[in-house]
Amino acid sequence: MSIVHAQLACGVFRLRYAVRECAVRVRVDVMPDAPSVRWEDVHGAARGVVYGLLSGEDEALARALHDGGWQGKPLKPVGVAGPLFLGAPRKKGVYTTSRDGSVWFGSPVPEIASVLVRALAGTEELAWGKTRLWVRGITVDADAVRPAGKGPVELETVTPVVLKHEDRNLLPGDEHYLDRLQHNLAHKADLLGLPAPRGLRVLEAGPRRRFTVRGAPRIGARVRVAMEADGRFVNAIRSWGLGLDTIQGFGWVR
């Protein structure tokens, strides 16, 4: 067994015991075959990658999630972020890569998380749009299964948070932004049977970012927020994300 597949097998073994009642984040270490990723693929490819992994391991679950959401509600409790590249050279207008890349996957639902990792255990590369990402290893994030108590918490996203009000894209500081983010979090808490957070505040926001996904614009900004929340919900959101379109890579929490 290669080192890569030994790491993947270890991830699956750990996951079987870690996710029985917990949310899980999984980091996949990757190496690209190109010096850059097309901008339209950064978020545009994420959804297809997720459903490809799920359907390859459990076609019925993937179809049910795609067609109807989870447990009779349209929400899809899956988060993804990537590809992210450490030390990538800065080049205006280009999403550059490096040999040190990662893609994050997560879900607050153990059934979904376990399918994702089992699928990754048999994957040697991820087709991220036009870019091939060679899988070098997989790590289950222990923080995502660590018990957490009640109290104030801060969360910071590494990808833009997408929110809308009456088909209008919202940015931090806009009217209705906090209301829609609170509504989104409460809706997710309800699906998971957990208490909704309170006292939501935006502490910091990044610049406006615009991406095209399946021909439609996605506009948002990275944020750092504070809230009073049950520890189980904090773990869940770290594995799911803030805002809309998390299955397309938006709102992933650092």
What string of DSSP letters covers 194-232?
Answer: -PPPEEEEEEEE---EEEEETTEEEEEE-EEEEEEE-HH
d(CA 225, CA 243): 12
Give strand pairing partners of 134: 31, 125
Q: Which domain holds residue 215?
A: 148-248
Last residue of a domain, one of 95, 119, 144: 144
CATH of the domain at 152: 3.30.70.1900
- Residue 48 makes CB contacts below 8 A (sequence gap 6+) with none
pTM of the complete model: 0.89
Same domain, 9 and 133: yes
Indicate whether 115 and 154 sit together in one domain: no
Distance between CA atoms of residues 155 and 252, nearest Å: 10
User: pLDDT per position in the chain (254 positions), as tens?
Assistant: 344 444 444 444 454 444 445 688 999 999 999 999 999 999 999 999 999 999 999 999 999 999 999 999 999 999 999 899 999 999 999 999 999 999 999 999 999 999 998 999 889 999 999 999 999 999 987 555 455 555 689 999 999 999 999 989 999 999 999 999 999 999 999 999 999 999 999 999 999 999 989 888 999 999 999 999 999 999 999 999 999 999 999 999 99
80 contacts 92 by C-beta, under 8 angstroms: no
CA pair distance 50, 201, nearest whole angstrom:
31
Verify that 129 and 243 share a domain, yes or no.
Answer: no
